Amino acid sequence: MNNETIHFFLKGLTTVKRASTKYGPAPHKPVLLLTFLEMVDEGIITENTVTLSADLVGLFQENWRILVDTPHQADFTQPFFYLQNDNIKGTHFWFLIPKPAKSIHGHIKSINTLIEHLEYGNFDEQLFKLMQEKGCNQLFRRAILEKYFPQMIDSYMMKKKFGNDYLKDWENFILKKSSDPTKTIRISKEEEVFVRQAFFKKYIPQIYKDTCCISGMRIIPVHGYSMIDACHIVPFSVGQNDHVSNGIALCPNLHRAFDRGLISIGEDYKVLVSSLISENSQHPYSLEVLKDKKVLLPENLMYFPDRENLKWHRLNIFKG
């Protein structure tokens, strides 16, 4: 692609509109642009269809933590929506594509509501091709840093090289290796929960080797998605607890049975079955055949289901 096209988009990326605030110009759009470029460079975004993911939201928060030293709120949904208003000589370069029968006519502040409405976002095709070229990608990132965060360039480069990983912090938190990462960053509660629960859903099946801890069912489809659910023992709505010790891996039917109190797990890690059900107990897939079966446990004792959480489930959910 010729230099004229490169400079055309370079100008657009370094002249985005930024709201005036009492803390100075809003840094949200430049942080999001750097996040997009980094994800393309790292091969996380490979197609010109950007869906909402924990990687996207988490990396935005990581870059925010590195670059922004003002009291602005790290709101991801704001630039994700308003960037589509920016243009270069009348040419828009970021677009939001709604799901069928849905619309996105205004800023949707709730990330969960945005997911319900958004099919994907995408870039101008020429811009996306440039973002995929290593040299252009690095040129764009350097220009954005020089324009919007000139005092933070060295810090940004160093932390990216040696690791300042917001997502890694959440991984350690879920695995009970560190404290809550939000203590070092102002992040909306909903975005925090979105990232936390994505990691919970990711790591629980991994810890149980994609195996239902009660039935022993293990299926790993060729497309890479686990058929095993990450199940909270104490519901998140009750305890706000996403630590691995508040999770077990269950196949979908047993996940539903556990959530509805038809089964539970005893102090000895054996399966309890409610007496308040009617079923064909001779059927090979009945709940009754699971009674007193010892559940499969993680190899690492640190990841065992917490006995206090299991006790809470027996007292509050289980219909014994």
Q: Tens of pLDDT along the chain (320 residues)?
A: 688 899 999 999 999 999 999 999 999 999 999 999 999 999 999 999 999 998 899 899 889 989 999 999 888 999 999 999 999 888 999 999 999 999 998 999 989 899 999 999 999 999 999 999 999 999 999 999 999 999 999 988 888 877 656 667 777 777 766 555 554 444 567 787 888 888 899 889 999 999 999 999 987 766 666 789 999 999 998 988 888 999 999 999 999 999 999 999 999 999 999 988 877 666 667 888 899 999 999 999 999 999 999 999 999 999 97
The one-character DSSP state at 262 is: S
**Using an 8 Å Cβ cutoff, are 265 and 310 in contact?**
yes
Q: Would you state the pLDDT for residue 216?
A: 93
DSSP 273-294: E-SS----TTSTT-SGGGTTPB
Residue type, 131: M
What torsion, rounded to 10 degrees, do the Cα atoms 137, 139, 141, 146 define?
180
Q: What's the rounded Cα separation, in Å, for the pair 185 and 194?
A: 16
81: phi > 0 → left, psi -120 to 50 → alpha, else beta; which? Answer: alpha
**Using an 8 Å Cβ cutoff, are 249 and 255 in contact?**
no
Nearest to 196 by CA among 246, 242, 245, 244: 242
Which helix H or strand E contains 39, and what residues bound it? helix 28-41
Q: What's the rounded Cα separation, in Å, for the pair 257 and 55?
A: 31
What are the domain boundaries of the chain?
A: 3-164, 211-316
Beta strands in 91-187 (DSSP E): 91-92, 94-98, 118-123
Q: What's the rounded Cα separation, in Å, for the pair 252 and 257?
A: 9
Q: How many residues comprise the chain?
A: 320
In the structure encoding, which two tokens stand for residue 91, read together?
A: 């040419």
The one-character DSSP state at 243 is: S
Q: What's the rounded Cα separation, in Å, for the pair 263 and 287?
A: 8
Residue type, 16: V
**What's the pTM?**
0.78
Residue with tokens 């559940």: 295
Neighbours of 189 (CB within 10 A): 9
Q: What's the rounded Cα separation, in Å, for the pair 200 and 188?
A: 18
